[in-house]
Copies of this chain bind each other. A is one copy, B any other.
Amino acid sequence: MLSELLLTEINRLNQQAKLPLHRQLYEALRRAILEGKLAADERLPSSRDLVQDLHLSRNTVVAALNQLTVEGYLISRVGSGTFVNPKVPQRLPRPSRVSKPPAQRLSQRGQALSTLFCASELEVQPFTPGIADFSAFPVALWQRLQNKHWRMTYPDMLDYSSSGGYAPLRRAVADYLRVFRSVPLEVDQIIITSGTQESLELCSQLLANHADTVWLEDPAYWGACKAFMATGLSLHAVPVDDQGMAPKAADSATPPRLIYVTPSHQYPTGAVMSLARRHQILSLARQHQAWILEDDYDSEFRFSGPPISSLAGLDTEERVIYLGSFSKVLYPGLKLGYMVVPKGLAAAFKRAHYDLNRPGQMPVQAALAEFIDMGHFASALRRARQSYAQRRQSLLAALQPCLGKHAQITGAEQGLHLCLRLPDELDDKALALQLGKLGLLVRPLSAYCLGRSDLRGLVIGYGYAPLAEIEHFGPLMAKALVQELASFEA
C-alpha cells in the first residue's frame, strides 16, 4: 500500500523533472507525511523492505530517510525503527475560501499603489501618449557596441557599482548637459540610476521624511505621483497655467519639502515654464528651504528653437536636482537614467543608492557611453527629432478641421504628445472611451488632474505611431471630434 503510493508519486515526479532518485523518494515520503497518508507515530517499513518493494538501491533509500530524519519529518527510535515524527503538523486542508479576498489583503498603501495612477492596463497603440518609437533603434549597432564591451569586460564590470555609475558614461552625460541644457556641473554630481522612477524614489527617500509635502503640478505625470505615494509623501497639487506651475500665496500655507516640476514641457499640458516663473519657483524653494526636482523628460525633442535654460542652470543655491532618462532616445527597457545632485549631497546619494538599490549593468553602461561619445546618440536624436516633428505636423494637419473656439492645442512644439484642450462641460473620459472603440487610444486630460476639475481635453501621443498610421487614423479622430463638438458650436 505504502509502496504503491510512493511509486505513484515517484513516477509523477519523474515526469515533471529529472530529479535524482533519492530526492524523488524523499519528496514522495514528505508529501505522504504532510498530507496525512502516513500518520503521526506510524512506523516506516525497514530500509531493507523499502529497497525490495521500490526496486531502489540501498544508498538511495538510506539517503532519503536520513534527510527526512535530519529535517525532523522522521525520528529514529533505537531498536524499534523509524517513525513519523508526531510533532510534524500535517498540512491543513487548503481553506477553500476562508481567506479574505485578495484586494483586502493588500495594505492600504498597497491598494492605493495598485489602483491609482496606473498606466499598465493600457495597450500601446496609436495615440498612447508618452511613448517613443523605439522600433527605429539601431539594434545591430547597439549589439556591436555591447559585444565590444563584453569582450573587454573584466570581472569588476560584472559587479555592482558603488561609485555612481560607469565613469565614462558619467563624463559623457556631464558634457551633454553642460552644453545642451546649460547645467553647470562636475562629473562627480552625476549618478546613473535605473531610470526616473528610481531617481524620484531616491530623492524622496533621502531629502524628505514620511508625510512631508511635495508640490506637484496639476495636472501631473502619473509616474511621479506614484513614486511620491510609495515613499510616503503628502501630495499638494498646484495648478498649472500656460507658464507652467503657478503657485499662489495660499499654496505656501502647505509648505513643500520637495517641488516636482517639468518646466521645459509640462506633462501633459505642454506649457513651457516662463523665465519669471522659473525664478519664482527658485525663490519659493529658497523661502521654504525646499528642494526642486526638475524632470527634463523630453527636452531633447524640441522642434522649434533651442530649449529654454533648465532650472538647474539658473540655480545659485544648489536647490535643484536635475533628472533625465535615456529611455526616450534609446529604448524604454534599457533601464538607465541619471540625476545631477548638488555637490554636497553626491557622496550620501551614492552610498544610499548603492545600499538600497545595488546598481549594476556596467557593460550596458559602457556600451551607452561609447554610443554617446561616438556621436550615435546625437544622430539618433537628430533622426528622432525630425521624425517626431513630421508626425506632429501630420497630426496637427489632420486635426485642423476640429480646431477652433472649442478645441485648441496647448503647449510648446516639443515632445511626443500634444494636448488638445476641449470645452469644460465636455466629458473627456467618455470621449476617450468612444475613441478607444475606433482603435484610437488617447487619454482624457481630466485623468491627470489631481485636485482641479476645470480641465477637459485629450492627451494624444504621436511618438509611437508611424507617419502612415497618423495619416490614416488622424482624420478619423478629427471626424469624431468634429461631431462631438458640433453641439458646442450650436
Given contacts A351-B114, A355-B118, A355-B119, contact A143 B151 (CB under 8 A): yes
Given contacts A17-B179, A94-B316, A316-B92, contact A134 B120 (CB under 8 A): no
User: What's the minimum C-beta distance from A375 to chain B, rounded to whole angstroms?
Assistant: 11
B274 touches A109 (CB 8 A): no
- Stretch in A225-233, A383-391, A425-433 with 4+ CB within 8 Å of B: A225-233
Q: Does A56 contact B (CB under 8 A)?
A: no
A143 touches B150 (CB 8 A): yes
Q: Does A269 contact B (CB under 8 A)?
A: no
Q: Does A206 contact B (CB under 8 A)?
A: yes
B139 touches A318 (CB 8 A): no
User: So how many copies of this chain end up in the complex?
Assistant: 2
User: What's the minimum C-beta distance from A308 to chain B, rounded to whole angstroms?
Assistant: 5
B275 touches A305 (CB 8 A): no
Q: Does A34 contact B (CB under 8 A)?
A: yes
Which residues from 310 to 347 on chain A have a C-beta closer than 8 Å to any C-beta of chain B? Answer: 314, 316-318, 331-335, 342, 344-345, 347
- Stretch in A208-216, A293-301, A392-400 with 4+ CB within 8 Å of B: A208-216
Q: Does A471 contact B (CB under 8 A)?
A: no
* A405-428 contact mask (Cβ, 8 Å, vs B): 1 or 0: 000000000000000000000000
CA distance in complex: A101, B351 (Å)? 17
* A114-146 contact mask (Cβ, 8 Å, vs B): 1 or 0: 110111110010000000001101010011001
Task: Name the residue among A110, A305, A351, A355 with the largest chain B CB count within 10 angstroms.
Answer: A355
Which B residues are CB-close (under 8 A) to A333? 157-161, 360-363
CA distance in complex: A318, B100 (Å)? 11
B355 touches A226 (CB 8 A): yes
Which residues from 49 to 87 on chain A have a C-beta closer than 8 Å to any C-beta of chain B? Answer: 63, 66-67, 70-73, 85, 87
A210 touches B232 (CB 8 A): yes
Q: Does A16 contact B (CB under 8 A)?
A: yes
Which B residues are CB-close (under 8 A) to A115? 351
Given contacts A333-B159, A352-B110, contact A305 B210 (CB under 8 A): no
Q: Does A194 contact B (CB under 8 A)?
A: yes
A109 touches B210 (CB 8 A): yes
Which residues from 18 to 32 on chain A have a C-beta closer than 8 Å to any C-beta of chain B? Answer: 19, 22-23, 26-27, 30
User: What's the minimum C-beta distance from A185 to chain B, rounded to whole angstroms?
Assistant: 13
A contacts with B: majority SS: helix
CA distance in complex: A110, B212 (Å)? 13
Given contacts A194-B194, A227-B356, A356-B230, contact A113 B27 (CB under 8 A): no
User: What's the minimum C-beta distance from A259 to chain B, rounded to whole angstroms?
Assistant: 15
A16 touches B205 (CB 8 A): no
B331 touches A158 (CB 8 A): yes
Q: Does A47 contact B (CB under 8 A)?
A: no
A197 touches B160 (CB 8 A): no
Q: Which of B139, B230, B334, B354 contacts A153 (CB 8 A)?
A: B139
Given contacts A106-B206, A205-B109, A344-B99, contact A178 B360 (CB under 8 A): no
A335 touches B355 (CB 8 A): no
Q: Does A103 contact B (CB under 8 A)?
A: yes
User: What's the minimum C-beta distance from A394 to chain B, rounded to whole angstroms?
Assistant: 21
Q: Does A108 contact B (CB under 8 A)?
A: yes
Given pairs A109-B210, A134-B159, A158-B333, 5 additional interface contacts (CB within 8 A): A63-B305, A106-B206, A109-B205, A117-B355, A333-B363
Question: Could you list 6 examples of A-B contacts with CB < 8 Å?
Answer: A66-B305, A67-B305, A107-B257, A110-B352, A118-B351, A195-B358
Chain A positions near chain B (C-beta within 8 angstroms): 16-17, 19, 22-23, 26-27, 30, 34, 63, 66-67, 70-73, 85, 87-89, 91-95, 99, 101-103, 105-111, 113-115, 117-121, 124, 134-135, 137, 139, 142-143, 146-147, 150-151, 153, 155, 157-162, 175, 178-179, 182, 194-195, 197-198, 201, 205-210, 212, 222-223, 226-227, 230-232, 257, 274-276, 279, 283, 305-306, 308-309, 314, 316-318, 331-335, 342, 344-345, 347-352, 354-363
Across chains A and B, which 4 residue pairs bring their CB atoms closest together, nearest first? A333-B360, A102-B344, A110-B206, A72-B275
